Structure 1
């Protein structure tokens, strides 16, 4: 059998996985949503098999979990997971910012600035997902300059795992008048990168992640109190 035909089912599963994963990251399928194989298969236009396999992979990635009497659901947001993920992010991203700012080029700083400008526009338009996308693009430029692809890959994986928390944080910050935390740290990080100031870059990133953790904790607590 030709390889292309043997690979086709796996490629279809990849497409279904990407579709469901994006719906979770965008908030279209929020925490607690049930993932019913038949319904999802109808929505994406496939048989049940690739949907079932995609859900299994989402479970392995820690994005989906099994609940009694419900089956597969989008994993709920918890304070414990928030602290675990953001503490690891601090360890990795503070170091990535420190190393990246030592080696980043002027052209890469200009690329960071372009992503920052797009992010500020998205903030003005209250577009949560573009805000997060441009923020991550900006940071990835800096982190890539550190010259450690494995470090960048690990950070990307953490971003995917905590995207739901980031959505909560960004939306809550947008709803708070006068809060500059969605853009102030990025501005200071670009300045540090242009100056090659590794200590400042590390400090800015650390402060940014501590602030994000505190904001999301407060927002999760408020949601819990109103539920």
Structure 2
């Protein structure tokens, strides 16, 4: 009974964390949103303590920051951070694609195709969080084939940290007629994987991430807060 009682606050904090975390990932709490403990506690139906702990954990995850006179806010988007994060993604994900393409099976390629098809449906419906989820699921299948779970975990953490940038990029691209960059590279990546072509897979990922960096950089620069 004592263990169970101690676990209850932690479980509640986990639930609050998951709720706020999902709201940030889905864009319901966009960059710059203030995270007021009292308001969030009322919305999720808890006391202030689990909300404070959840916000602290979000700070540790790099998704929330403290600002003078504002308190905790969803981390703002900056061109400098965009470049740094995407440079690291290119280093890791190009290598993950190369290693994964060498070892991936036909069955896993079929799973990639299934996620790609769901991603295309989400693109057609302009469902940004869903298209990002399926894109990441497709990439994770390829990266997991590399056989290095630590590499995949590091990449997943980077995806979380740059989710707001991904939302900006995907939303802006969907609003640009004739831009096929949300699906063209993924289509080529699946083809390279099916041929167990590590050089081709690495080249596609490198080009895809370079393109994403340029697209998001242009979109941020066009915003009043971009720099």
TM-score, with structure 1 as normaliser: 0.98
Equivalent-residue separation in structure 2 for 1:208 and 1:116 (angstroms): 15
Match of 1:183 in 2: 183
Check whether the contact 2:78–2:226 (CA below 8 A) recurs between aligned residues: no
What SS does the aligned partner of 1:51 have? helix
Residue of structure 2 in register with 1:72 after alignment: 72
8 Å contact from structure 2 (residues 192, 198) kept in 1: yes
- Where does residue 25 of structure 1 map in the other structure? 25
Q: Which residue of 2 aligns with 1:155?
A: 155
Paired position in structure 1 for 2:103: 103
Aligned pairs, how many? 227
Residues 27-66 of structure 1: matches in 2 within 5 Å?
27-66=27-66
Kindly state the Cα deviation for residue 134 of structure 1 after the two structures are TM-superposed: 0.4
The Cα shift of 1:226 comes to 9.0
Correspondence 1:128-167 to 2 at 5 A:
128-167=128-167
| CA displacement 1:145-194 (0-9 Å, x = unmatched) | 00000000000000000000000000000000000000000000000000
Contact 2:64 2:75 survives alignment (8 Å): yes
Give the Cα separation in 1 of the matches to 2:27 and 2:226.
19
Task: Please provide the CA RMSD for this pair.
Answer: 1.2
Counterpart for residue 122 of structure 1: 122
Q: Which runs of 5+ in 2 are unaligned?
A: none
SS in structure 2 at match of 1:224: coil
Taking structure 1 as reference, are residues 61 and 226 closer, same or farther at Cα in structure 2, changes over 3 Å only? Answer: closer
CA separation in 2, counterparts of 1:31 and 1:226? 12
What is the distance in 1 between the residues matched to 2:73 and 2:158?
20
The alignment status of 1:16 with 2:16, answered yes or no, reads yes
Superposed CA offset, 1:90-142 (max 9, x none): 00000000000000000000000000000011111111011100000000000
Instruction: Note the C-alpha offset of 1:225.
Output: 7.2
Residue ranges of structure 1 left out of the alignment (5+ in a row): none
Counterpart position of 2:197:
197
Tell me how far apart the structure 2 counterparts of residues 225 and 132 of structure 1 sit (CA, whole Å): 24
TM-superposed deviation, 1:6: 1.1
